[in-house]
């Protein structure tokens, strides 16, 4: 297998319960939603989630309530403010900003996660 053939990876999405699903088990995202964070390897997505204290097994646990995600990123950013020049801090800050943007531009979003 060549490196350009690897398709594993994850993007950061905002979700809400699909109103077309009467059981409320299906999550969907807004039509035309823009994503402003880079595509990540699954390993990098797991490391980010672990860094902020969330379950890193996103492939099996599903999405996280957006407010819980924002609490986790806020806690990390406050606890690591002295490391602002660290790339890990910058990465958490980027996803914090993206989740806040989702919440503002797409108020129907209730959850975020990697997919």
Task: Give the C-alpha separation, 89 to 21, whole Å.
Answer: 38
Q: Is the pLDDT score of 53 beyond 70?
A: yes
| CA 79 to chain CA centroid, nearest Å | 20
- Please write the tens of the pLDDT for every residue from 73-106: 999 999 999 988 999 999 999 999 999 999 999 9
Confidence at residue 105, expressed as pLDDT on a 0 to 100 scale: 95
R_g (Cα) of the chain, nearest Å: 15
- Please write the tens of the pLDDT for every residue from 7-44: 689 999 999 999 999 898 899 999 888 889 999 999 99
Which 3 state secondary structure label does DSSP give 79?
helix
């Amino acid at each position: 297998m060549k490196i350009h053939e690897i398709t594993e990876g994850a993007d950061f999405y905002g979700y809400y319960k699909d109103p077309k699903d009467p059981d409320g088990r299906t999550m969907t995202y807004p039509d035309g939603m823009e994503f402003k964070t880079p595509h990540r390897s699954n390993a990098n997505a797991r490391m980010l989630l672990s860094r902020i204290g969330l379950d890193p097994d996103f492939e099996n646990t599903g999405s996280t309530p957006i407010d819980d995600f924002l609490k986790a990123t806020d806690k990390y950013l406050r606890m690591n403010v002295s490391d602002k020049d660290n790339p890990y801090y910058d990465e958490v800050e980027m996803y914090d900003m993206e989740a806040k943007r989702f919440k503002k531009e797409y108020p129907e979003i209730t959850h975020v996660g990697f997919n």
